[in-house]
Structures are given as C-alpha cells and as structure tokens.
Structure 1
Amino acid sequence: MRAPLELLNAHFDGERLSDQEARRLSAWVKETPENSRAVVELGMVHELTDSILSVPRLLDKLALTSDPALKRSIGASLDWVETRAETPNPAQRPARTWTAPLAVSGMLLAASLLVAVTALVWTSAGPGISDNESVLAVATAEPDAAALQPATAPVVATVLDSFDAMWDGPRVLTRGTTLLRGETINLTDGLLSVTTADGSDVVVQAPARLSFTESASIDLRSGRLTARIGDGDDQLVVTTPTARVIDLGTEFAVGVGESGETSVEVYEGEVELASLVGEEPGEPPVSRTLRAGRSGYVDADGRLRWTIETLPHTRGYVRPDEIADLREAKRGSRQAREQVCFYELQRIEGLLGFQGFDIPSAGGERCMAFAEPALRSDRDLRFERDLSVGCMSSSGSLRVEHTSPVFLTLDTSPESSLARAGLLTERGMVGRSDTELWLAWRTSASSPRRLGAYAGLSLMFGEDRRFNEPLFVGLIDSTDQLGVVANVGSRSIDRPIGVGASQVGTAPHLWVMRMVFGERSDKVSVWYDVAPGRLIEATPDAEVLNATLMFDRLRVGVGNDGGPWLLDDIVLATNPQAIVEANRLLDGE
C-alpha cells in the first residue's frame, strides 16, 4: 500500500489513481492543514515551471468543458499568468509595500490554483473523477480577490481561439487574451471564440463590433454572434441598437445589419426578444418569446415583427460546438475538415437539401432533406469513387445497376426544410403553386458501350414508373438521346438536350433543373454540363412548359442490359446562386 505522499506524487505525475486510492488521499488531505499545504507545495514542484507551457492545454480544455466552476478556475489561472507576465513601465511601477514572505505567499496561492486546475483537467477523463476532484477541492483555497484583480477594469471573458481573425484596435486578441469590461472589440475578418467568466461560450463572426459590459452582458453594435449559456445563475443579455435579447436557458444567435436591424435565431431553449421602443410613440417596448427552431426580427426603426418564422436549418451562424472541429481541421484532421465543410454547406442561403453519399454511413449522415432510411433498394447498396474532388473526402458516389433501382425519399414532415420553404402541398407533396425548386446532381456512366435502354433520375410520388412518374431526366427510354420526359396524363412530352449516347463517355456530368410550380401547369428547365459560374446567365438546354409536377421521392435507375451508372452530389435549393455556391464548395474552390 502506497503512502499518501507517494499517491500525491503519482497524482501530479498524471497517473490515474484507483477509486480506493483517491478516497484515501482525499481523506488524508482533509485531516490537517499541513496535509493540504503539502498538496500545494508538491504541486508547485511538479507544475510551476510548466505553468506557461500548460496554458495551451488549459485553453483546449476550456474550449471543451461545460462546467462553469472549472471555467472560472481556469480563467483565474490565465489571469494570473497574464498579469505576472506583463512588465510595467519602470516610471509607472508602484512602490513595493509587501515583504518577501508575503510575495512568496501570494505567488504560492496563485500557482496552487493553476496547479489544481491543471491537475483537475487531466484527471477528469475517466472513472474516479469525483474522488480526484475532491482531493484538489480540499487542497485549493479560494484565491485572494486582490491577488487576482487586474490593474485595469475587471476581466469578463477569455479568448479561446481565433481563426483568420483580424481586428482594428490597440490590443492583439490571440488565444488566451483576457477581455476587460467595456473593452471594444472591432473584428474586421475571421472568427473569434470566447468564454465568459460566467461560463457561457460566445462565437463572434466578422465583421463585428461589440463589447462585454459585464460577463453576462454584451453590447453588439454590428455583426453576428452565437452564445451557448453556461450553468450559472445569471442570464446572458445581448443589447443591439434596436433590440434586447434575454436568454432563458438556451443557445441562440444574434445578427445586427447595416441599418441596425436585429435578427435572432434560437437553437435550444428559449429567448425573449424585446424592442427598445413601442409600436407607437410614447408606448412601452414590446417583446416576444422565441422557442427552439424559430427566429425573430426587429427592424431598423426598432419595431418588433410579430410574425415568428421557422428556421430552415440550425446552422445559419457558426455555433460553439463547431469550434473544436475548426481547431482540428486547422491541425490537419480530414474528418474535422469534412464536418466543417458540411456546416459551411448548410449555411449557403437558399440551400434546402444535400445527399453526398457518405460511405461509412451508407448515405445516412451529412445529408439534408431526406427521410430515413436515406436510400432504399431491393439489393445491397454499393458505392464507388467520388465524382467531385472537394472537401467531402469520405463521400463517394452511388452505384446504380439495372437489376434494382434506388429510391431517395424526401423529408416532407411539417418541420422539414421543404415545408419551411413553403414548397409542400396540402397532401405533403413538393409542388405548391407559386414556388420554385432547383435540383442539381452529377452522373457518370461506368460502361459507355452499355448505357442501357434508359438511365437517369425520376421525380416520383409512388414506386411504379408507369403511374407515379411525372418527370424523368437522363437517357430517354429506347433512344440514343439525353433529355427530359414529362408525363402529362396519358401522353409523354420528350425534350432532347442535343447530346447523343455516343457523347456520354465516363467523365462526370453535372445536371441542373429548375421547376417553377404554377396554378395550372408547371415549367421545367434543364441545363447539362453548364459551368456553375455561368448557370444564372446560361440558356437552358431543354424546357417543358406544360408539365404537371407533384412528387415526394427521387428514383434512379438503369434499363435492361445497361452497365452501372454513378450518381453523386444531389443538391436542392430555392435559388440558382445556392446551386452555384454548393458546387463550388464541393469542388474545393
């Protein structure tokens, strides 16, 4: 059985104590003040010389923990390191009024805090966490407020990380920088991740101008931020030129436009959105409660819009849980880079859906607007090479063979992106009048000499092509032409695009389709192999003016005796610019 000092040394050396050892050591620390002092003294021996080097590790832990007490302890340690690292101007240096023993005592106290927090960080990843924490909780006294008080205004937040950040101001805001109460932050480019003294995580997106008036109060003059609230008692309040946002235990985002208008998105919990003026002169301000999945707006005149809108998705802003992926992507992690790419894809304005055929999940992950299961077929699904060479490195393409078609069912639930965009009819089908939808996808023929009787993508409202297929795009059945086929009642309307089967080859081809849904008929326009940058100005390769479209799924299939075709990167959007931006991102531009 090891003696208490042996256990303590092992603890500071990073060894994981057993539950029984941790309890014995905890009891020993509580016995006498001398034992508690031994924890501090041994901690200094082990860690004091490494205090500066431990700051990056503390920041990594600070970015991941949600424990507000641990955040405050780490923040206090960082404050001590920063204030001791600053060398004041000799002409302004105050006369020393303390004696050497008192100075050593103060350093010992602050160092013990850093030691304890560092040890807590590295002993909280597995079994025995509560016992190891109790050892340190007894040994670490509450630091003297005067010893930790900065020379200037109180510290209200700490910078966790920055990504391509540029700012206009007297101080460089790097990782570990403490932010003072009332200090203006003018971020001109990039991204800044901050944690407040109350344990809230805040992400600021440039361009932005703001200040932390208190640890739980932010004055946002312009720009965008997201906040995830810690477990403290204080509510976080964000004030803008036209509104006041009060958290009610939540994660939310606030954006301030060029004219001062304020938009709010709620991802979890609730917030109260209040205008700063009444509806009419002399009337009191008004407010609304916004719940998760909803957004609110106050115009430039300070008037609250009473219509609460449903969010198309929950990644309109960079959220705190993305910071770890951004950091790992910066360090070269392929998986993190792919996740960051998917977040960026979701933030494209007007993008509603995506299916990139993620191979590890068989198309079930990193997709949008498709119901579960993401892919359906009578045979096992097979995937091959990716038809785009951008950031989605684990995605591939779907291999479609003549023996069995594959169905991709759209998510048409009331909370789906298609429903939120107003595209669904009363029957829950895509095709509501006075709306439009853009659809893009890539194809490649594995065997150009065996293209099959037909090969392509269908819009469907059932499983049977004879009765439930209002539109087909691809190699037209029993012809040697690529084109569009609209099935209207008992007749079919064929529109070739001027590309024969002999021109298909094995190279990937990009298809783009625009559907405009009208009261009596629908219009379909199709582009083939158009450069994304020219999509908006390019003339369609084929058009159908009198189509009747209504669908809730996609079908991809190949006719008899055809070789395999590959399908990739299905994108659904409300506008052509979203199609352009998505394809550029997927191509790595």
Structure 2
Amino acid sequence: MCSPEELFSARLDGRQLSDEEAIEVRKWIAADVRNAARAVELSNLHSLLDESLSILSIGMSDVLPEQEAKQLLDKALQGMELVKSRQAKASPVGLTSYTITWISLAVAASLLLVVGSLLYYSDDPQLASNDTATTPLAPPAPIEARTYSPSEGTAIIENQQVDDPDVSPIALIDTRIGDIWDSSPPIQGTGVLSGTVYQLQKGLVRVRMPSGTTVVCEAPCVFSFADTEHLNLMNGRVAIETSQAHDITVHTPEETIRDIGTEFGVGLGPDRRLVVAVYNGEVVVGDEGEKQVRLPRGMVGDFATGTVKSHTASRTISDDRQFVRDSEIELIEEARHGSQEAAQLLEWYRRRRIGGLVAHATFSNPVRGHLTSVGMHPPRADGDVRMNYKRNVEGVYIGSGGAVFLDVMIAKGGRAASTGLLNPSELVGADATEMWLTWKTQSLSPMTGRFAGLSLMYGDVDRNEESVIFGATDDSDKFVIATYIGSKRERHLFSKSTQSQSFQSGTIDQGVHTWVVCISFQEGNDRIRTWLDCPLDRVDVTPPSMDVTANDVQFDRIRLANAKDAPAWFYADVVLARSLDSIKECLIPPEPPAPAISH
C-alpha cells in the first residue's frame, strides 16, 4: 500500500488517483504544516520538468490568468528555497523555529489551492469539465458575535462564518489538551484563521502568534481573532503573555482591554461579569475617549456587568493561578512525561482556582521553592512532629507532647477576607456566615485517656484562647466535642445516639476517621454540626452525628496537638471552605486530563 506522499508523487507523474486515494492525500497535506511543506517541495521538483502542473492543464484557466498563476507558483517555490536555506544555517538572532514554521505555513497555504485543485479536479472527468455544474457544500451557520473590525477600528456586531477558506492563518494552535469543540476542531499546526469564531467546549488550547505572544484559552470559551493584535472574547477565560514588542487588545461585548507589554488574564462569564487580572505590566480597560480603568501589575478588576461603569473594585491579586497561564502548559507536558514535582504543582494550581476554598494544609517539603498549602502559612511545629509521615498523603505525625499550628492567612485581599468570613476583630467568625471544615485523624496506639485533637484557636495558649475542640479528652476513651458556653467548657460525647452509621463504636480505635464540620456563625451562640465517618458525597443527605451550640466561635489558627504521654496521632486532609462543594472539589481528585497534543 502506498503512503500519501507516494500517492502525491504518483499524481504529479500523471497517475489518476481513486477518490479514496485523493481524499487520503488531501488529509495528509492538511494534517501538518510539515506535510504541506513537503508537498510544496515535491511540486517544485516536478513543476520544472512536467507541464502537467501548469494552471491550464488542471482546468483553472477560467479562475486565474496563466501568467499570474505561474508567478504565484514561482513565488511559492522561491519562498520554499528561502526557508530551506535558512534551516540549513544557524538561525540568526530573532529567527526562531516558530519563525521558520510560519514561513513554511505561509508558503504552504499559498500552494494548497493549487495542490487541492490538482487532486480534486483531475480525478473525475465530470468535475474537470467546465460544462458540468457542481453543488458546493453548504456553508456553516453564521454565529452572531460582537467583534473587532480592523477597517472600522471599533467593536461592531456582525456575522462571522465559522470557516472561510479564503482567510489566511494568523496564529498557530501549538498545544491542545483534552479539547472538544462545538464543530470540527482546528487542525493542529495549520493555523488559526482571521475572522473565524471558535467555540471550545472542553479542555485547553494554546494559541501562539508569529511574534511569540501566547493565548491560553480555557473551556468553555468562544473567541475569534480579527488579526494578530485583536482578540474577540465572547465568553470564557483567556490568559495572555505578550512579547516585548507586541501588544494585543481583547474585545468583549461591552469593553476593550488593552495591554501595555504585559501578562494578564481576562474572564467573561455568561452573566457578563468581567474579571481582569494583571500579572506583569499594565492594562487599560475601556474604550478610548470614554471612562477607563488602569490596572497595574498585581491588581484585579471586577466589572459586574462587563463595563467600566460597573467597576466595583480593584484588589491585590491574592492568588496568581485563577487563570491557566502559559507556564502551566509546560508543567502539563512535564507531568505527562512522569514528573512528580510537576504533577504536585499542577494539583496546587488546581486547588487555588477552587471558588470558596479558604485554606488547605499540606505538610510536604517545598516543591521547586513553593509551599503547596492554600490560604495558610507554613506549619509551625513544636515537639515530636514528623511532616509527610505517610507517602502520598498530605499528613503529619504528632507524638507525645507535640503540636502543629496552621495559621490561616487573614490579610486584606486574602481568601478568608474575600470570602467574607472575617469579623471586626479580623478573626474567622463573621456573623451570618457559614464555614465548613474537614480533616482525618488516626490514633496510632490503642492507649486512650489522654487529650489529642484539633482545636480552633485565636492564640497559642490552650483553654484561654480556644474556641472549640474535636477529638479526645483526658478522662474519656470516646471522641468528643468540647465547646464553651460563657466561661464553662462543655463536653459532648459521641455515643450510639449520635454516631454515624459507619462509626460502629463510641470508643476511639486505630482506624482512620473523617470529620466534617459545619459552623453557622450567628448572633449569640453559634451552631456546630458534625458528621463523623460520613462520605463527603452523603453529608448533604445525612443527619449530622452531633448538633451542638457554642459561645462565639472565632479563630485565626488551627492547632493539632497531643498531650504528654498520649499516643501518637496522625492528621491529614485539613481543609477549610465556604461550602461543602468546595471541599469536595478540593479532595475528590478530578479525572486525569487527556494527553496534550503539541508541536
């Protein structure tokens, strides 16, 4: 069986291809810019000796004058020779592999019309005849979108065709990760067309400009490019990193976002809410001559209805991973090739994008200089403490007399503040809010009758600066919740009447137990509901194992501790969030991403 390249060469030599063979060759040419470039090279070898490649011989004299067509072909062939000579030499400064790819792409695009016509017209005598009318394929349905028109210089409403073969590529999709499109996906490496509306339903793609500017599109995303300097974003999220000498303007249905040598992200939701985050440089939001908002590096702008008139606040970026950025694409590639560090960083980035996640504690060593906790300072350890005690579990071993403090980040602009949990004393516990907390415990010895557990505190001194305790107390072999009503501490034991279905004994054992707590902060006493050993996906349909009240619960740190002479305990998966769904998203691993496809 002949390869597509051999079939193409045979056709150039005059052989008639079957319909199946012609389709196979066309697919081969369209699949990769390198295939198209190879087709051009083969055509170059044949065209100088074989008249069968002339425009007249393939039935296109009624489309282009012969002389003009030959000039077009000669120009394409000269361009290929230029590319080959450049590739044979060391690339000078400014000439990168991407530049060479773009030269090849431009030349291949110029010749594809000729090559495609050769395959299409010559294999069917009826199609080659000017006397026989052909019925063209129906064009795709137009999509109405507010887009930037270079000729007008303003954003206008117009119908954009999903596919227009007469438009030259202006960018390359160089990486695709689990992408699913509303219609046929763009062909990898053959370019993004100017004026085409793309609808990405799932996954990620990275678009690269000839200048080196990259645009990472995160599904669901509807976008188009007017040219290399103007991106139309109808819905979705994009992260853009521009080259030093290349600026880009993002046009949304209501506003324009113009960068000044920068890296930034733009998110546009279905409710038209616009979010712009600036990582480097500066951006200007708003049309020229009208009200504008300038956002410098490290700032985020919120625009409730998508316009500068609805600009609510500019705040400091508390989390630089709310957008999937260009550097993350490289990590995905590393993780696919087995890098555990890259996988850890990707999981950290994923958690930082979870809405409503206030804090997640990790106890592992820094990964490439990063502590991978979310919303918490590095753990403070005292006594017999061993971080990352169990392999592949974010946990900590605490021996006799040991303690670990997990300090929640409460700075302005941080997660706790932005989720509205801080009270006037800047402690977690604002009235009329609700907080969810989960963690796992395991006693590593059957010995009981000693204090061990998790405490919510507003200082490091127990009892005096402690709001509530979950675990074991000095005189009990059962799990308890200790709360305060006024100055009096009350203990609530888990018994047969309070235990969850999966917790078969009130006695502390050596099994791993999962705690889920919901605290409703309210005027007066606060409500604490606790589920012990209830699966996360059943908590919302299962009555709590215990439902108690406590006096004014507030805290800014979580203490994990054991009394002296107490058995060692293991703690893991400490998560603080505004909702149960956020906890689920944090702890339940997502489906592994589809392999990245890149050139």
Give distance in 2, aligned partners of 1:165 and 1:350: 27
Task: Please give the residue correspondences for 1:462-481 in structure 2 after superposition, counting only pairs within 5 Å.
Answer: 462-481=459-478
Task: Specify which of 76, 79, 83 is matched with residue 110 of structure 1.
Answer: 83
Structure 1 residues 177 and 362, CA, compared in 2 at 3 Å: closer, same or farther? closer
Residue 355 (structure 1) aligned with residue 368 (structure 2)? no
Quote the offset at 1:285 in angstroms.
4.8
Residue aligning to 2:227 = 214
Provide TM-score, normalisation by structure 2: 0.71
Counterpart residue identity of residue 97, structure 1: K
- SS of the equivalent of 1:227 reads strand
Quote the offset at 1:425 in angstroms.
3.2
Task: Specify which of 455, 458, 462 is matched with residue 461 of structure 1.
Answer: 458
Residue aligning to 1:274 = 286
Quote the offset at 1:261 in angstroms.
4.4
Give distance in 2, aligned partners of 1:163 and 1:146: 23
Quote the offset at 1:274 in angstroms.
2.3
Give distance in 1, aligned partners of 2:291 and 2:440: 50
- Is the contact between residue 447 and residue 567 of structure 2 (CA under 8 Å) also seen in structure 1? yes
Task: Specify which of 302, 317, 320 is matched with residue 314 of structure 1.
Answer: 320
- Is the contact between residue 172 and residue 190 of structure 2 (CA under 8 Å) also seen in structure 1? yes
Quote the offset at 1:474 in angstroms.
1.0
Give distance in 1, aligned partners of 2:507 and 2:83: 74
Counterpart residue identity of residue 268, structure 1: N
Quote the offset at 1:539 in angstroms.
1.8
- SS of the equivalent of 2:587 reads helix
Structure 1 residues 445 and 112, CA, compared in 2 at 3 Å: closer, same or farther? farther
Structure 1 residues 587 and 427, CA, compared in 2 at 3 Å: closer, same or farther? farther
Give distance in 2, aligned partners of 1:224 and 1:135: 30
Give distance in 2, aligned partners of 1:171 and 1:497: 56
- 258-267 or 429-438, which moves further after superposition? 258-267
Counterpart residue identity of residue 287, structure 1: Q
Structure 1 residues 567 and 240, CA, compared in 2 at 3 Å: closer, same or farther? same
Residue aligning to 2:158 = none
Structure 1 residues 136 and 160, CA, compared in 2 at 3 Å: closer, same or farther? closer
Task: Specify which of 153, 159, 177 is matched with residue 190 of structure 2.
Answer: 177
Task: Please give the residue correspondences for 1:8-87 in structure 2 after superposition, counting only pairs within 5 Å.
Answer: 82=36, 85=39
Structure 1 residues 185 and 407, CA, compared in 2 at 3 Å: closer, same or farther? same
Quote the offset at 1:534 in angstroms.
1.5
- Residue-pair matches, total: 477
- SS of the equivalent of 1:249 reads strand
Counterpart residue identity of residue 247, structure 2: Q
Give distance in 1, aligned partners of 2:179 and 2:429: 44
Structure 1 residues 320 and 432, CA, compared in 2 at 3 Å: closer, same or farther? same
- SS of the equivalent of 1:381 reads strand
Larger C-alpha radius of gyration, 1 or 2?
Answer: 2
Residue aligning to 2:389 = 384
Deviations 1:434-456 (A, max 9, x none): 32221111111211x12451211
Task: Specify which of 299, 304, 309 is matched with residue 304 of structure 1.
Answer: 309
Quote the offset at 1:485 in angstroms.
0.7
Task: Specify which of 536, 560, 572 is matched with residue 532 of structure 1.
Answer: 536
Counterpart residue identity of residue 313, structure 1: D
Quote the offset at 1:349 in angstroms.
1.6
Q: Which runs of 5+ in 2 are unaligned?
A: 1-31, 44-52, 111-165, 594-599
Counterpart residue identity of residue 331, structure 2: D
Structure 1 residues 567 and 226, CA, compared in 2 at 3 Å: closer, same or farther? same
Residue aligning to 2:560 = 556
Structure 1 residues 136 and 197, CA, compared in 2 at 3 Å: closer, same or farther? closer
Residue aligning to 1:203 = 216
Q: Which runs of 5+ in 1 are unaligned?
A: 1-77, 121-132, 277-283, 387-392
Quote the offset at 1:114 in angstroms.
3.5
Structure 1 residues 474 and 187, CA, compared in 2 at 3 Å: closer, same or farther? same
Residue aligning to 2:150 = none
Give distance in 2, aligned partners of 1:508 and 1:470: 25
- Is the contact between residue 36 and residue 108 of structure 2 (CA under 8 Å) also seen in structure 1? no
Residue aligning to 1:159 = 173
Quote the offset at 1:353 in angstroms.
1.1
Task: Please give the residue correspondences for 1:278-297 in structure 2 after superposition, counting only pairs within 5 Å.
Answer: 285-291=290-296, 292-297=298-303
Give distance in 2, aligned partners of 1:144 and 1:362: 37
Give distance in 1, aligned partners of 2:105 and 2:569: 72
Quote the offset at 1:273 in angstroms.
2.2
Quote the offset at 1:515 in angstroms.
2.0
Counterpart residue identity of residue 528, structure 1: L
Deviations 1:203-235 (A, max 9, x none): 112222211111111011222211122211x43
Give distance in 2, aligned partners of 1:441 and 1:260: 37
- SS of the equivalent of 1:304 reads helix
Structure 1 residues 113 and 80, CA, compared in 2 at 3 Å: closer, same or farther? farther
Counterpart residue identity of residue 238, structure 2: L
- 180-189 or 343-352, which moves further after superposition? 180-189
- Is the contact between residue 272 and residue 289 of structure 1 (CA under 8 Å) also seen in structure 2? yes
Give distance in 2, aligned partners of 1:445 and 1:306: 52
Counterpart residue identity of residue 341, structure 2: Q
- Is the contact between residue 80 and residue 148 of structure 1 (CA under 8 Å) also seen in structure 2? no
Give distance in 2, aligned partners of 1:474 and 1:541: 14
Residue aligning to 1:374 = 379
Give distance in 2, aligned partners of 1:135 and 1:231: 12
Give distance in 1, aligned partners of 2:262 and 2:491: 53
Counterpart residue identity of residue 573, structure 2: D
Give distance in 1, aligned partners of 2:371 and 2:449: 31
Deviations 1:373-423 (A, max 9, x none): 43322455343215xxxxxx4x54200112222222222222321122232
Give distance in 2, aligned partners of 1:202 and 1:84: 29
Cα RMSD between the aligned structures? 3.7
- Is the contact between residue 33 and residue 105 of structure 2 (CA under 8 Å) also seen in structure 1? no
Give distance in 2, aligned partners of 1:190 and 1:92: 42
Quote the offset at 1:184 in angstroms.
2.3
Structure 1 residues 556 and 364, CA, compared in 2 at 3 Å: closer, same or farther? farther
Residue aligning to 1:520 = 524
Provide TM-score, normalisation by structure 1: 0.72
Give distance in 2, aligned partners of 1:209 and 1:364: 34
